[in-house]
């Protein structure tokens, strides 16, 4: 599966994942799935990690205008290895 990417209005390319938190850490879910609690945006350097929390009425679509809005409200991740965890979890999801 290809990594989903989004280019913001400044030309920065972000990789993004939908995920939920479980007992063993962040678990990737399929994009736009209702079980996803958060959307992570990982910058091209891998160091910049922003997290958007879905609300009850949040759009879980991957339309560019929605992604731009989510990126504006995303906050820095507290977990330094979030990008690695999600990429690893995504590989396991693809293997099923």
pLDDT in tens, 76-89: 987 767 777 777 76
- Note down the domain range covering 35: 5-95
Q: What's the pTM?
A: 0.82
Q: How many CA atoms lie within 13 Å of 8's alpha carbon, on the beta-carbon side?
A: 16
Tokens, residue 57: 């009425």
pLDDT digits (tens, 9 = 90+) for 28-70: 999 999 999 999 999 988 888 999 999 988 888 999 999 999 9
* Structure tokens that stand for 68 in this block: 């731009």
Number of domains the chain contains: 1
Distance, in Å, from the CA atom of 12 to the CA atom of 14, rounded to the nearest integer, reads 6
């Amino acid at each position: 599966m290809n990594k989903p990417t989004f280019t913001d209005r400044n030309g920065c390319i972000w990789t993004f994942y939908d995920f939920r938190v479980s007992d063993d850490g962040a678990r990737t879910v399929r994009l736009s799935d209702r079980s996803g609690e958060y959307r992570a945006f990982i910058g091209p350097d891998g160091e910049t990690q922003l997290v958007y929390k879905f609300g009850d009425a949040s759009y879980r679509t991957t339309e560019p205008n929605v992604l731009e809005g989510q990126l504006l409200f995303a906050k820095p991740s507290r977990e330094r290895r979030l990008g690695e965890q999600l990429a690893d979890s995504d590989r396991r999801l693809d293997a099923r």
